[in-house]
Amino acid sequence: MSNKTALAEEVAPSEIESDPERIVNDLAIQVATVNGSGSQSSNLVLLRALFRMGIPVGGKNLFPSNIAGLPTWFTIRANRDGWVARKRNVDYLVALNPQTAIRDVESLSPGSAVVYEESLRLERRRDDLVFYPAPFQELAAEVTREVRLRKLLANMIYVGLLGELLSIEVEEIFGAIDSQFRSKKAAVELNRRAVEIGIRHARENLVKRDPFTLERMDGNRGKILIDGNAAAGLGAMFGGASVATWYPITPSSSVVEQLTGFLKRYRKSPDGKATYAVVQAEDELAAVGMALAAGWAGARAMTATSGPGISLMSEFVGLGYYAEIPLVIWNIQRVGPSTGLPTRTAQGDILSTYALSHGDTKHVCLLPASTRECFEFGWRAFDLAERLQTPVFVLSDLDLGMNIWATEPFEYPDRPMDRGKVLTREDLERLGGTFQRYADVDGDAIPYRTLPGTEHPGAAYFTRGSGHDESAEYTESEEAYVRIMTRLDRKFETAREMVPPPVVDQAEPVSPLGIIGFGSSDPAIEEARNRLREDAAIEMDYLRPRALPFCPSVLDFITSHQRVVVLDQNRDGQLLQLLRAEYGDRIPPGVLRSLRHYSGHPMDAQTIVDYVTEMEIGAA
């Protein structure tokens, strides 16, 4: 479920930590800058340098919906035990943004360290912090005479300062710079120089007075650093995505952008032509319309969007459900309602996506919790969509999709593609030349389809979103309507057997306490379980649904526990509502407890620990 177990086998924490005055490989660094200042490269270099030192890390970018001039914070959490969910307390602040510096400093816990632009005079604000001033602009002027570049390079200077203060290996910083700027030799040279100047300044002017330090360990062997959207795009390519139509929207744009990069490189026919079509459509209506029709015509079709786009796609999705057309839709969730907070994370679309469109509709939704699952569901979603002949959603979110995660490498698909029930000309000849598009021949409620272009006079049928019978003929017959709708309901039961089952991790015998959460909540839940176990001897079993509809084991989990926390990253407890709608009074009263986190920040462990601790005190 997390990399905790694997990690513990590799490195026992006790081997590292011996000096109580030093806190080794356990800190959160926050870099506060102005967006558009070029700090992203420096932050990635810092992250990658720590990663290369073998220290488990994660990077989260808290950015505005803006191109330049507004505050942005990048947080790197390094943790020797592998806990890299958001940590509420920052240990090391890099304060370069005058707009937020005072508030940033005021929010720190005592004992934290602040690296800052000395002209901000932050040392006057608190006497319980460790201050490391530096004249960033002056130092940057030593790197280059070019004023435009100075601003960018000032960011790389803090990498050098932190390198010296936290004992980051300079070779690994340089290695990270090489990797970041790849073949751009001049950029590599300038950035290396900026780092060196930062290191020199720290050596000559600063005295280390905080306990935090970093040491090489072996926590990342074989691992890669990747964001969930890249993993999704890569998974989609290995799923054989052949038509991807989309409309740009944060935080989903990078799914298709990165998919396109992979396709351009690896999906050419022998004559150099594309075995795929990627189209930036005029809006989400067109994006989903194109994808749906491409699925109808036999392509592996997908689109990716976020909340507002999902709302716009609603009508076509209902058509896809009723006319039974395969299609994959990635919803990289952000904070709603309406435009909401476009650059903040949430799980606020699970309820609306599950039942998207008017009338009785329900959709298969996959719920990835890691970049590995983004990759895996990237290809599996196509198999499910084509097998079930229906739109399949993958609900990721901004935290998972746009932030950077260390992960074990992805596994190549373990099975051939499932193209579903498609009748060819030969099949039609064998069947005597006719077929019924919407008949349940096999008892699994999944009908057979033919593709346009099939060379047989009996292949054609008429697809419509209006009432139809088994032969796809238009009808307003109530019997036919009920038959088709009832079969669609049964098809959803077939889907229940096919979707990825939940991941369950429970004590033997089961604990009285359990938690259900999904998606990007996973790292925080695992960390909270560990802390509750170690600090309070509270065992909390865990079920993580990986898809809707729920598998039967979800109810088993609920009924075998006395108290089950349902964790939602939304205000209304949408996962809780889905559980109640699904199971009704089969859930004993008082079992489900709702924990709702909806600040737009990624989920953190402390929130769960606090909630559970209080609840368990009440229970005891």
Partner 1 sequence: MPAPDASSRPRKVNRLGLTPSDYKGKPSTLCKGCGHDAISSQLIRAFFESDVRPHQVAKLSGIGCSSKTPAYFLNHSHGFNAVHGRMPSVATGAVLANRQLVAVGVSGDGDTASIGIGQFVHLVRRNLPLIYIVENNGVYGLTKGQFSATADENAALRSGEVNRLPNIDLCGMAIELGATYVARSFAGDPKQLVALLRGALSHNGTAVIDILSPCVTFNNHAGSTKSYTWGKDNEEPIHILDFVPAMDQIEVEYEEGTDQEVQLHDGSWVRLRKLERGYDPTDRRAAQELVLEANEKNLFLTGLLYLDTSKRTFLDSLELCDEPLALLSEDQLRPPPEVLDEVVASYR
Nearer to partner 1, 104 or 386 (CB): 386
510 phi and psi, to 5 degrees?
A: -60, 150
As a whole number of Å, the end-to-end CA separation of the chain is: 29
CB of 297 to partner 1, least distance (A): 4
Rounded Cα–Cα distance for residues 244 and 248 (Å): 12
> Which residues, numbered 472-491, are part of the site for partner 1 (CB under 8 A)?
474
Q: Which listed residue (37, 107, 137, 463) binds partner 1 by CB under 8 A?
A: 463
Residue 414 engages partner 1 in binding (rule: CB under 8 A): no
Among 607, 606, 576, 603, which Cα is nearest to 592's? Answer: 576
Nearer to partner 1, 135 or 413 (CB): 413
Q: Which listed residue (69, 98, 337, 409) binds partner 1 by CB under 8 A?
A: 409
CB of 241 to partner 1, least distance (A): 8
Among 257, 344, 360, 358, which Cα is nearest to 307's? Answer: 344
CB of 60 to partner 1, least distance (A): 18
CB of 31 to partner 1, least distance (A): 22
461 CB burial (10 A radius; 0-12, 13-18, 19+)? middle
Mutual orientation of helices 147-166 and 136-143 as an angle, nearest 10°? 110
Nearer to partner 1, 460 or 619 (CB): 460
Q: Which listed residue (450, 521, 574, 607) binds partner 1 by CB under 8 A?
A: 450
- Three-state secondary-structure class, residue 275: coil
> Which residues, numbered 251-270, are part of the site for partner 1 (CB under 8 A)?
262, 266-267, 269
CB of 50 to partner 1, least distance (A): 14
- Three-state secondary-structure class, residue 259: helix
Q: Which listed residue (459, 516, 525, 579) binds partner 1 by CB under 8 A?
A: 459
Residue 131 engages partner 1 in binding (rule: CB under 8 A): no
Residue 90 engages partner 1 in binding (rule: CB under 8 A): no
Q: Which listed residue (238, 247, 321, 542) binds partner 1 by CB under 8 A?
A: 238
> Which residues, numbered 208-237, are part of the site for partner 1 (CB under 8 A)?
223-226, 230, 234, 237
Query: Looking at residue 548, what DSSP letter applies?
Result: E
CB neighbour list of residue 9: distance below 8 Å, 6 or more residues apart:
none
Nearer to partner 1, 284 or 399 (CB): 284
Q: Which listed residue (443, 453, 584, 590) binds partner 1 by CB under 8 A?
A: 453
Residue 432 engages partner 1 in binding (rule: CB under 8 A): no
Q: Which listed residue (98, 433, 452, 552) binds partner 1 by CB under 8 A?
A: 452
Among 229, 278, 283, which Cα is nearest to 251's? Answer: 229
CB of 578 to partner 1, least distance (A): 27
Nearer to partner 1, 156 or 292 (CB): 292
306's torsion region: left (phi>0), alpha (psi -120 to 50) or beta? beta
Task: Tell me the per-residue interface mask from 264 to 303 with partner 1, x by CB under 8 A, - otherwise.
Answer: --xx-x-x-xxxxx-x-xxx-xxxxxxxxxxxxxxxxx--
Nearer to partner 1, 288 or 513 (CB): 288
Nearer to partner 1, 147 or 297 (CB): 297
CB of 358 to partner 1, least distance (A): 11
Per-residue burial over 246-269, b if 16 or more Cβ lie within 10 Å, else e, is bbbbbbbbbbbbbbbebbeeeeee
| E strand or H helix at 169 | none
> Which residues, numbered 355-384, are part of the site for partner 1 (CB under 8 A)?
379
Nearer to partner 1, 101 or 299 (CB): 299
590's torsion region: left (phi>0), alpha (psi -120 to 50) or beta? left
CB of 435 to partner 1, least distance (A): 13
CB of 242 to partner 1, least distance (A): 4
CB of 535 to partner 1, least distance (A): 35
Structure tokens at 557: 């989990």
Structure tokens at 521: 């909540």
CB-CB contact of 123 with 161 (8 Å): no
Rounded Cα–Cα distance for residues 378 and 232 (Å): 5
Residue 544 engages partner 1 in binding (rule: CB under 8 A): no
Nearer to partner 1, 285 or 355 (CB): 285
Residue 339 engages partner 1 in binding (rule: CB under 8 A): no
CB of 308 to partner 1, least distance (A): 16
Rounded Cα–Cα distance for residues 388 and 366 (Å): 14
- Applying CB under 8 A, the span of 79-87, 361-369, 463-471, 575-583 interacting with partner 1 comes to 463-471
Judged by CB under 8 A, the number of residues near partner 1 is 71
- Whether the upstream peptide bond of residue 549 has omega within 30° of 0, thus cis, is yes
> Which residues, numbered 566-605, are part of the site for partner 1 (CB under 8 A)?
none
145 phi and psi, to 5 degrees?
A: -85, -20
Residue 405 engages partner 1 in binding (rule: CB under 8 A): no
- Three-state secondary-structure class, residue 176: helix
> Which residues, numbered 18-77, are part of the site for partner 1 (CB under 8 A)?
none
Among 381, 370, 310, 336, which Cα is nearest to 519's? Answer: 370
Rounded Cα–Cα distance for residues 53 and 80 (Å): 11
CA 190 to chain centre: 34
- Applying CB under 8 A, the span of 124-132, 209-217, 459-467, 552-560 interacting with partner 1 comes to 459-467
> Which residues, numbered 307-336, are part of the site for partner 1 (CB under 8 A)?
315-316, 319
CB of 19 to partner 1, least distance (A): 32
Rounded Cα–Cα distance for residues 430 and 425 (Å): 9
Helices (H), 146-184: 147-166, 170-181
Per-residue burial over 91-101, b if 16 or more Cβ lie within 10 Å, else e, is bbbbbbbeebb
- Whether the upstream peptide bond of residue 409 has omega within 30° of 0, thus cis, is no
Task: Tell me the per-residue interface mask from 135 to 174 with partner 1, x by CB under 8 A, - otherwise.
Answer: ----------------------------------------
